[in-house]
Structures are given as structure tokens and as C-alpha cells.
Structure 1
Amino acid sequence: MSNKPPLWTKDFISVSASNFFVFTVFYILLVTMPMYALEELGGNATEAGLLTTFFLLSAILIRPIAGQWIEKLGKKKVLISSQIIFLVSSVLYFFPDTLGVMLLLRLFHGIGFGMATTATGAMVADIIPDSRRGEGMGYYVMSTNLAMVIGPFLGLTFMQNFGSSFMFVMCVAIAALGLISGVIIRLAEKKHTARALSIFRVNLHLNELFEFSAIRIAVVGGFFSIVYASLLSFVSVYAEELQIGEAAGYFFVVYAVVLLLSRPFTGRWFDQYGANFIIYPSIILFAAGMLVLSQANTALVFLVAAGMIGVGWGTLFPSFQTIAIQEAPREKKASATATFLSIYDLGIGLGSFIIGWVVTQTSFSVLYLSCAIYVAAGLFIYLGLYGRKAKESKEKQRQMI
């Protein structure tokens, strides 16, 4: 008989489902809004790109504030409030008829997204047993990975076959499922008695906006997320250039399947052997996957790269988020989650801009080869910012046993 505390509780499943539904809407709109802006709002390519930039910008800015609201009001209230904002925003997509109004809506929608992802991240940190932190965070983050596969597929299918109105209806339905999943979570929290006016008083001191214990590992995550942005933005375009466009739709499917198969082992090994045991091999595998991708000339090689990247980067992201949460005091775990995700999203935003510029200067093959070298250099970034500390902590634990 196992003495492990249970992981797959109703609350863990509910918070993971809530996260999945929010990210599914995010990815549906991520792949379809530029197309919608060009075809139905009369925008150009630069203006279409701003729809994503505005959304992520408001999410990044609201997260540190959402961390303070969580400490004043509690996680459940912030989650439900954020999902109401997210649902109302989804309903409003039927109305803008100019790009300017749509940009304002994207700002509003990003606020709900930033609050919701901060709240769910903080909630799951409380729900997962400490002894299964790495394993549990791995499964939780997998809800995001699955949304990354399903969201773009649904978005493009809805848009191409049924039109934008049907796509917006489905976004409303999925956002509603996210709200329902959030409502049924039963999280034991201390009673919060913050007065109405104090909720809107935001402490802009850096110590209140950011959890400094999470910054080192957040910078590491942001460093690698720049490369991840190159996959989100351009891997399908690269496939078209290689004349294997039919394989593009399967890239993230293979990514998710391989990740799903590896997750039971990688999360458990993180808990058992420590961060370094998992992170160093994952960085090497991520770099190798980018190298294989840069040399791809057939659909098979392209999808082999997807599998390698799925295990490599798919293991790194939840490991980094787990470290951010572990390093923070219990009362600061919401701020740690907000800090980590803000810097991670900043990396995605910067990456989209930087990679877009690099693509205009060179070929996709050279781009992904450069990304492989960049990821490999990340070994030293991780070693300098956290790897040595993790090794010393593990040695101290051994001496105490």
C-alpha cells in the first residue's frame, strides 16, 4: 500500500479543468484574431499583431496586482471575479466593428486572463501535497499543454468552416465551462475581511508587486520562453516552407502526446531526486529537438523534433514554476506565481518581436539552428541563477538524513 497523499482530488481536477478552459479560449483567439483583423476589420499585419500584444500586456501588468488582491480577498473570490470578466469579454467579441475598439476589448480580456491564471496557479499550489509538488504541477501544467493543442485546432476549424460568429459562440460556451469549474472548487482559506475601498488601494512597492524569491527562476523561464515563442509563431509557416504543411497541424499533437506519456515519470523524478536531475537533461533534449527541427526535410523528422521538444520544454516549464512556488513563503505563493508568469509572458512577448525580426533577416533553418545554440547556452544561465543553489540544498538534505 502506498502512503502517498492523494493527488487526483475533486479540487485538483476542477482547478486544472478551469485552467484548461481559460487557455483553450486564449489559444482559439490567438490563432484566429490576426485573421479576423485582416479579413473582417480591415487591419494590416502590424495592427493584427497588436491584438496579441495588447492582450498579453494587460495580463502581465495585472498579475502583480492580482497577487495582492488574492492576499486581501482570497484565491476563490479572485478566481470567480476573473472568470466573470473573462466570460463577459468573450461575449463582447460580437460587437466591435473597428480595430481600435477591438484593441480595447483585448486589453479588458487580458485582465481577466492574467487574474485567472494567477489565481489558479496559486490555488493549485495549495491543493497539491508538498511531497508530490513536482508531479502535481506537471499534471496541472499539462492542462495548458492540451489547450495549446486543442485550442488552435478548434479555432481554425470553427473559423474556416462555420465563420467568426460561431467561433465567438464557442468561446463563450468554453469560458462558461471555466467559470463553472471554478465555482465548484472548495478551497479551505482563512477568512478575509478586507474593506471595499482597501481592495482598490494597490501597493506599488516592488516588494509587494513581485516576490523576489521567484525572480531568479522566472528569469530562467523567460530566457527559454523566447525560443518557445518561435514555435508558437512560426513552426506552421516553417512547415509550409518545407512543403510538409500537412504535418504542421500534428506538431503540437505529437508534442502533447509525448509530454503526456513522459509526465508520470518526470514529475515523480523531480520530487524524488531534485530539480537538477530533471532540468539539465531536459535542457539538452530541448536544444537537440531544436537542432533536429532546423535540419528537418521530411514530415517524419519534423515530428520527431516535436516529440523531443515536447519532453524537453514540456518538462522544463512546470519544473520552473514548481521551483518558483517552492522557494516562496506560504503567504507569498500567489505573488510568486504572478511573478513567474509575468516574466514568462514577457519572454513570449519579446520573443515574438525578436524572432519576427530575425526571420526577416535570415531563413527558418538558420533561425531554429540559432535557437538550438541559444537553448544549449541556457545550461549556464540555469547553473548560474539556480542550479548551484539546488545542488547545495540537495547536499544539505543528504547530510541531514
Structure 2
Amino acid sequence: MKASKEPLWTKDFTVVSVINFFVMLVFYLLIVIISAYAVDELQASTSQAGLATGIFIIGALIGRLATGSIIDSFGKRKILFLGLSLFILTSLLYYIEAGITFLFITRLLHGIALGIASTATGTLIAAIIPASRKGEGIGYYSMSTTLATAIGPFLGLYLTQIASYTAIFSFCLALSIISFTGALAVRTKEPEPSRTADAKREAFSLSRLIEPKALPIAVVVLVTGFAYSSVLSYINFFAKEIGLVEAASFFFIVYAVSVLASRPFTGRLMDSKGENHIMYPAFVAYGLGLLLLSAAGTSMVLLLAGVLIGLGFGNMQSTTQAIAIKSTVPQRMGLATSTFFIFLDAGLGFGPYALGLIIPSTGYRTLYASLGVLMLLMIAGYYFLHGNKSKARTAH
């Protein structure tokens, strides 16, 4: 039991979590305002505005793919500084109004910077957390992303009402500079870098970009992220359709409170009982939340759906990240973290485009109901991909 008393809230753990919060806050804040900026300031078409939003995710994917393969040999701290430096430089590009094509380039480069920085923070945190508290630690750390997903959109929509786009970009730049300054205080032991010969031998191997052992859980992450993209992208359109716009503005706040309230309990439960004790109930909560959302007609029902989706998807995010990291050797934790986020970003990034094609024929209610059923069916998918193997691991 002594192992459970290993300190978790160290200076490094706190600083890296705050850096991740600021970086992700900038991401989620800009994702809700950039399409309006493209239309208002650059006279972009609706489809161009959508591309300005989504191309950032493509950049993040590129950044994660590139980083996952080099982070363990170059060093986590160096990669973090590289990512945050690029994050500051690309934030400056928003001040240049040079047409929609330049905005596409800015968004792509900014996304690459985010992919590098967030892979570095995720890998650093995995190295900082004591092994005996991995589930609990990653649960607390991923709350920084959960808070950003709630506060970012809320703040972005609020700031557009009281400030200019230039002022909003300045706010994002300030957060980026604070993050870089905070990184100077991070001190972690780096493992021995990979041997050059090994690196050369694997140069053209897929395992240099993806951690194969993390792939089964990454597939689960892809599907759950795909479903959640429907909430991120279309909740406001759905709310307008059913006359619940005011309630919808609090949806992500309720979602975040739900995750924050349950995360300390679920993290410890994972460490003591194993991930299946979190994942199976989370699939049920997530599925029921989406079904409830599809049937929403009052503010109470809409917000209750937010609570259930938070208990479901919110806790899945941290649990699946911990599973991905635990699935491999310490030397490939960076690659496992990168693999996890690549699949999460792919689900969140490409989901809106795919779902947007079917919404005209299904409508929002049918869409959410179908995704709710899909999440309940994914209980079987998770069982075959990982759940049936985890019993043996936790019994070890």
C-alpha cells in the first residue's frame, strides 16, 4: 500500500497540466470563432469557413505523427519547447489579413504546433506520474483538456460579443507565451535515447509512426470521438431547431462539471479494479446520453444528456489514454500517446464532415439516436478489442 502514497501533485505534474490546459483552451476557443471570422473578415464561403475550422485538425494529426516517432529519441522537454515555440510563432500569423488561403496555411501550421506540443505534454505526464497511480494521474491530467473543451467554446462565444477578433488573437497569444514560460520550470529525467542503429533500421517502418500495441484501444477512441464530434459541431444547430439555445450554451459547462465530479473516483477505481470497471458503465452512460439528447424537448433533458455524455465520453478519454500508455514499454510511451491522439483527432476532425453529409436526410434527432445505439453496440466492440484481454492483465 505504500506505493499508493507516492506523490502525484508534484510541481512538474501541475505545470505540465496547466500548459496543456492553456494550449487546448486556445484550440477550442478558436475552433468556435474561426468560421465566423473567415466569413465576417475575409468574406469566405460557408464551405471555406468549415475548411478553416477543420484544417487545424489535419495539422494536429501531422504534428502528432511526426512527434510520436521522434519524441523518445530527442527528449520530451526539447520537443515541448519546439512545439510551444511554434505555437507562439503561428499565433502571430493570425494578425496578418492576407485572404482565406493564408488563413488555411496559418490554421494548418498552428495545428501542427498543437500536435507537437500536446503530444509532448501527454508523454511528459505519463513519465511524471508514479506507476501505481497511473490511472488516477492521467484522469486528473486529462481534466485539463476536459476543462478546455468546456471553457474554450464558452469563452470564445462570449469574447466575440465584447471584443474584436484582434483582441481575441492577442488573448490566445498571451496564453501561448505563458505556456512557454511555464515550461522553463519543468524538470524531468529523460530515459536513455534510442540507439541510432535502431532508429535507422526502423526508418521506413509503420511502427515508427504508430504504436501497434495501442491500436486496439485507438480504434475504440476513433469511434467514440467520431460520435462526440456530432455534439461538438452540431449541438448549437440542433438547439436552434428545438428552441433551446440558452440551455445549449451551458451544455459544455454541465459536461465539464460531470467529468470533474466523477474523475477522482474513476481514476482510483481504474488503478484498483481495472479499466473494465470504468469502460462498460461509461459506454452505457454515453449511449443513453446521446439517446436522451435525441429526444430533448426541454432544458432539463438537454442538460441531463450533457451530464450522461460527460460521465461516458469524458471518462472514456482519460481511461483509454491510460490503457494506450500501459499497453507498451516505457521507451515507446511517446508513440502510444501520439497514436491515441491521432485516432482521437481523426474521429473529432473528420466526424463533422462525414456526419454533415447525412444530416440533410436524417435530421439531428435521428443522428443522435443512431449514434446512441452505436455506442451501446460498441460495448461488444470494446470487449473483443481490449476488454476480454484486460481481465488477465488486472489479475496479474
Smaller-chain TM-score bracket:
over 0.9
Q: Partner amino acid for 2:208?
A: E
1:202 offset after TM fit, Å? 9.6
Partner amino acid for 2:237? V
With 135-144 and 185-194 compared, the bigger mean Cα shift is at 185-194
Q: Which residue of 2 aligns with 1:49?
A: 50
CA distance in 2, matches of 1:203, 1:48: 38
* Identity fraction in percent: 39
**1:118 corresponds to 2:119:** yes
Counterpart residue type for residue 110 of structure 1? G
Shift of 1:278: 1.0
CA-CA distance at 1:393 after TM superposition: 2.3
Q: Distance in 1 between matches of 2:6 and 2:14?
A: 15
Give the residue type in structure 2 aligned to 1:129: P
Match of 1:72 in 2: 73
Match of 2:188 in 1: 187
Secondary structure of the residue that 1:362 maps to in structure 2?
Answer: helix
Cα deviation code 1:40-82 (max 9, x no counterpart): 1111111111112221112112212212321222000000110
Structure 1 residues 162 and 175 mapped into 2: Cα distance closer, same or farther (>3 Å)?
Answer: same
Q: Secondary structure at the match of 2:70?
A: helix
Instruction: Quote the Cα distance in structure 2 between the aligned partners of 1:54 and 1:292.
Output: 31
SS of 2:69's partner is helix
1:6-25 alignment runs, 5 A limit:
6-25=7-26
Which residue type is aligned with residue 124 of structure 1?
I
Is the 2:64–2:115 contact (alpha carbons within 8 Å) kept by the matching residues of 1? yes
Number of the residue aligned with 1:140:
141
Task: Report the CA distance between 1:181 and its aligned residue.
Answer: 2.2
Answer whether contact 1:12 1:128 (CA < 8 A) is retained: yes
Give the aligned partner of residue 226 of structure 2: 226
Q: Would the aligned equivalents of 1:83 and 1:178 in 2 still touch at CA under 8 Å?
A: yes
In structure 1, stretches of 5+ residues that fail to align are: none
CA contact (8 A) 1:73 1:194 kept: no
Which residues in structure 2 correspond to 1:2-401 (within 5 Å)? 4-190=5-191, 203-395=203-395, 397=396
Give the deviation of 1:355 after TM superposition: 1.4
SS at match of 1:131: helix
Q: Specify the SS of the correspondent of 1:93.
A: helix
Shift, 1:191, TM fit: 6.4
Distance 1:389 1:190, change over 3 A: closer
Over aligned residues, Cα RMSD in angstroms?
2.0
Mapped contact 1:65–1:202 kept (Cα < 8 A): no
Please report how far the alpha carbon of residue 164 of structure 1 lies from its aligned counterpart in structure 2 after TM superposition: 0.4
Distance 2:317 2:42 in 1: 36
Q: Judging changes above 3 Å, is the alpha-carbon distance between structure 1 residues 204 and 35 closer, same or farther for their aligned structure 2 residues?
A: farther
Contact kept, 8 Å, 2:191 with 2:331, in 1: the verdict is: no
Structure 2 gap segments, 5+ residues each? none
**C-alpha displacement at 1:101, in angstroms?**
0.7
Residues in 1 aligned to 2:202 and 2:167: alpha-carbon distance in whole angstroms: 39
For 1:338 and 1:51, how far apart are their aligned partners in 2? Answer: 23
* More off after superposition, 110-119 vs 153-162: 153-162
In the superposition, relative to structure 1, how do residues 204 and 102 fare at CA in structure 2: closer, same or farther (>3 Å)?
A: farther
TM-score (norm 1): 0.94
For residue 189 of structure 2, give the secondary structure of its aligned residue in structure 1.
coil
> Which moves more between the two structures, 221-230 or 64-73?
64-73
Could you tell which deviates more after superposition, 269-278 or 204-213? Answer: 204-213
Contact 1:203–1:209 (CA under 8 A) maintained in structure 2: no
